[in-house]
Chain A
Amino acid sequence: MSQIVVEKKVLNENQKLAAELREKFRQHKILVVNIISSPGSGKTTLLERTLERMDKSKRVVLLTGDLQTENDAKRLAQWGFPVKQIITGGTCHLDAKMIEKHLADWPLDGFDVLIIENVGNLVCPTSYDLGEHFKIVILSVTEGEDKPLKYPSIFVKSELMILSKVDLLPYVPFDAELAKKNARSVHPGIEIIETSSKGEGLDEWMKWLEDKLAAVKSGELVSA
């Protein structure tokens, strides 16, 4: 019996495609964010509020992933930005191939921001690089404060945590300080913005996006 040393990433194919996508995004100076959360944490609502506030001169495009239905794409399309639904047909995450396929007939030239709304799932999307600059995780106050401890990988890999639905804090037994402490214990550098669909934190979130976009346009922010 002999052994062959392989030392390759299991998701090598995905990694290669993600690297190609990343290079394309770099050439076209597009900011790409990959938004991940449990089902029902408010990904689509956050995006609605984002598009509502977005400077209409910015060219923002969205890919939204779900197991079934075009519902989210319909919800998001009303703001006038191009939206495409990725129906995974049961797959619990988006992979780089799906992104490549759905971007194929969009001219990337002139796009400013690509927002990818991943399938609602805190586990599987973590493993798949989509060529994005940042993963963003949303945790809502109707979940448990210990989610960062139960699903650490996604909190470790996310640049930013959005704590959503904070307008419900008076009505739910959720300790926001503990949730933030838990997130910081698994990822000390994680940025945190508290939001609600009523408007709290949305200016801060829009500024976060604008700052990152400016850094991409100036060439200061290059995703590795």
Chain B
Amino acid sequence: MHELSIVSSVLDQLEELKKQQPEGTRFSKVGLRVGELAGVDVDCLRFGFECVVKDTDWAHLALEIEQIERRQRCPGCKEEFRAENWATECPKCGEAATITIAGEELQIAYVEVDE
């Protein structure tokens, strides 16, 4: 249940970003990238976002979340694969110790600006 603090961290960063834009710039949408290892529940995040922006200057701001699957790379045969059901063993050569290359993201990817 730390999704509310995550929403406020996003909005704090957008405040800062807005200050760097020309006067009167309005952000219409923010795009987040959330990996499945990030420890964030996307539904809670959406709900928290709605609650926080309601009746504020951000009320018009849309939220788009791109969920990122966990992907692994095999150090042996270089195979890259989706870690289905959290199994991290290389499906090609059976190597157990593979490396996580995606799925830990918790990022603000972009904002859209009203012209």
Interface residue SS majority, chain B: mixed
Give the distance in Å from the alpha carbon of A149 to the alpha carbon of B38 in the complex.
15
Instruction: Report the interface size class on chain B.
Output: 35 or more
Contacting A at CB under 8 A, from B84-112, are: 85-89, 96-98, 100, 106-112
A101 interface contact, C-beta 8 A: no
Query: What's the count of A-B pairs with C-beta under 8 Å?
Result: 99
CB contacts (< 8 Å) of B115 on chain A: these are 1-2
CB contacts (< 8 Å) of B113 on chain A: these are 1-4
Contact A6 B28 (CB under 8 A): no
Say which one of A55-63, A79-87, A164-172, A185-193 lies at the interface with B.
A185-193
Report which of A9, A128, A184 forms a contact with B107, defined as CB distance below 8 A.
A9
B6 interface contact, C-beta 8 A: yes
B39 interface contact, C-beta 8 A: yes
Q: Say whether, besides A7-B107, A10-B106, A156-B100, A127 and B112 are in contact (CB < 8 Å).
A: no
Give the distance in Å from the alpha carbon of A64 to the alpha carbon of B111 in the complex.
38
B37 interface contact, C-beta 8 A: yes
A152 interface contact, C-beta 8 A: yes
Give the distance in Å from the alpha carbon of A189 to the alpha carbon of B108 in the complex.
30
Report which of A5, A91, A149, A186 forms a contact with B110, defined as CB distance below 8 A.
A5
Contacting B at CB under 8 A, from A93-131, are: 93, 95, 123-124, 126-128
Give the distance in Å from the alpha carbon of A154 to the alpha carbon of B37 in the complex.
8
Q: How far is the CB of B26 from chain A (nearest CB, A)?
A: 11
Q: A3-21: contact bitstring with B at CB < 8 Å (1 yes, 0 no)?
A: 1111111111110000000
Q: Which 3 A-B pairs have the closest CB atoms?
A: A126-B39, A124-B2, A153-B39
Name A residues whose Cβ lies closer than 8 Å to a Cβ of B: 1-14, 91-93, 95, 123-124, 126-128, 149, 152-154, 156-157, 184-189
